[in-house]
Amino acid sequence: MLHAVSLGLVLFGLWLMLSGYFVGLLLGLGVASVAVIVWVAHRMDVIDHEGHPIHLTVRAFLYWPWLIREIVMANIHVARVILSREMPINPSVFKTRSTQKTELGQVVYANSITLTPGTVSIEVDKDIITVHALTRETADDLRSGEMDRRVTSMEAHPDSHDPLVQTTKGPVQ
């Protein structure tokens, strides 16, 4: 029920931002349309823990600034590599483990890898992610396990590791 109420509030907020109208009739029609959508989604049984992950809201707002900083730093690194006369590109494909317990956590981790310039997630197979890295530095940054640890901490699954405990992750042999 909490997911349905949250979905309704998010949809109404989105509708309000996109329409920009505050007339009584239109607000009523907006509430009615959101109620119908939430009812249909509830009947279809698509409102669930992963489809509308309200449990990640606060932790996601803590993770995004770190990810944005990493994206900016990786952009600067890739720009330096491209503009360098030597072009120190050393592409590699390697596998790394993910410690996330849910598919949602693994998707967030794989997408975070791809959003960071210089690395691309090629394949996700259970807890193994195949990654293409442009340089050794970008591969080493990913192998350090910091991103994996932060995504696992954001996921905060009951079975996941303590977010305060540093885990060391590396390539799969």
Task: Give me the DSSP letters along 91-127.
Answer: -EEEEEE---SSHHHHHHHHHHHHHSTTEEEEEEETT
For residue 169, pLDDT over 50 is answered with no
In the three-class reduction of DSSP (H, G, I as helix; E, B as strand; rest coil), residue 74 is classed as: helix
CB 70 within 8 A of CB 147: yes
| Average predicted confidence (pLDDT) for the chain | 86
List the chain domain ranges: 2-43, 55-155
For residue 136, pLDDT over 60 is answered with yes
Residues 6+ positions from 51 with CB-CB distance below 8 Å: 3
116 vs 49 pLDDT, higher one? 116
Position 48 scores a pLDDT of: 73
CB 154 within 8 A of CB 56: yes
CB 59 within 8 A of CB 120: no
> Does pTM top 0.95 for this prediction?
no
Size (the chain), residues: 173
Distance between CA 132 and CA 135 in Å, rounded? Answer: 9
Tokens of 1: 């029920």
Torsion of CA 153, 97, 120, 90, to 10 degrees: 120
Mean pLDDT of 2-20: 88
For residue 120, the number of C-alpha atoms closer than 13 Å in the C-beta half-sphere is 6
Distance between CA 144 and CA 170 in Å, rounded? Answer: 7
- For 55-111, the pLDDT digits (tens) are 777 888 889 999 999 999 999 999 999 999 888 899 999 999 999 988 888 999 999
